[in-house]
Amino acid sequence: MKVTLADIEVEYTVHGEGYPVVFIHGLAEDHRSWKHVQSSLIGFKTYAYTLRGHGGSSAGKGKGSLEQLGQDLINFLETVTGPAQCVGYSLGGTIVLWAAAERKDLVLHAVVAGTSTIVGKQAADYFLNRIQAIRSDFQHFSKLLTDDTKSQIISPAVNPDEVAARRLEAIGDGIGYINAANAMRGMRETPLTDRLADIVCPVDIIGGDSDLFCPRKAAEIMMAQLPQSRYHEIQSAGHLLSLDQPKAYAEQIQNALEKIGK
Which H helix or E strand runs over 2?
Answer: strand 2-5
Give pLDDT, residue 114.
Answer: 98
Which residues of the chain, if any, have pLDDT below 50?
262
Domains of the chain and CATH, by start: 2-261 (3.40.50.1820)
Please give the Cα distance from 61 to 68 (Å, whole number).
10
Strands 8-15 and 44-49: antiparallel
Strand positions, DSSP E, 6-79: 8-15, 19-24, 44-49
Please give the Cα distance from 249 to 234 (Å, whole number).
7
Give pLDDT, residue 260.
Answer: 75
Nearest CA to 154 out of 232, 92, 93, 235 is that of: 235
Residue 46, amino acid: T
Give pLDDT, residue 261.
Answer: 57
The burial class, CB within 10 Å (0-12 / 13-18 / 19+), for 4 is exposed
Which H helix or E strand runs over 149?
Answer: helix 138-151
